[in-house]
């Protein structure tokens, strides 16, 4: 039997399109940072592409929750705050 952690990962692993939207949004934000010495028009275009990719990602996750009968957590819900703390603790360990 697989450990529970792996089972959870396979249960919530994003689809290929969702993963690509996440990567695209992140990469475009990085490119805006690199291109900050170029034209403002190019920066705005890249930011708009990044925004569209991240909005697509958000919609994918909303669909994921809806199709499984799960609710969207409020930004300051107990669950969301717990997950945020986990991420902060992991980042602190990596940066230490």
Q: What is the pLDDT of residue 82?
A: 93
Mention every residue, 6+ apart, whose C-beta is less than 8 A from residue 15.
60
Q: From residue 43, how far is each of 19, 26, 50, 62, 63 by CA, in Å?
A: 23, 14, 11, 28, 30
Range of the domain at 41: 4-95
In this predicted structure, the answer to whether residue 5 has a pLDDT above a threshold of 70 is no
Q: What is the pLDDT of residue 89?
A: 82
Query: Cα–Cα distance between 9 and 3 in angstroms, integer?
Result: 10
Q: What is the pLDDT of residue 9?
A: 46
Into how many domains does the chain fold?
A: 1
Q: What is the pLDDT of residue 13?
A: 52
Tens of pLDDT, residues 62-90: 888 999 999 999 999 999 999 999 888 87
Max Cα-Cα span within the chain: 55
- φ/ψ (deg, to 5) at 35: -85, 10
Q: How much is the pTM?
A: 0.57
């Amino acid at each position: 039997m697989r450990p529970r952690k792996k089972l959870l990962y396979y249960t919530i692993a994003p689809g290929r399109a969702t993963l690509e939207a996440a990567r695209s949004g992140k990469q475009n934000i990085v490119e805006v940072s690199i291109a900050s010495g170029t034209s403002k028009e190019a920066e705005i275009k890249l930011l708009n592409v990044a925004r569209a990719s991240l909005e697509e990602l958000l919609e994918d996750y909303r669909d994921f929750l809806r199709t499984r009968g799960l609710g969207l957590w409020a930004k300051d819900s107990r669950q969301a705050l717990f997950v945020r703390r986990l991420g902060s603790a992991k980042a602190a360990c990596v940066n230490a």
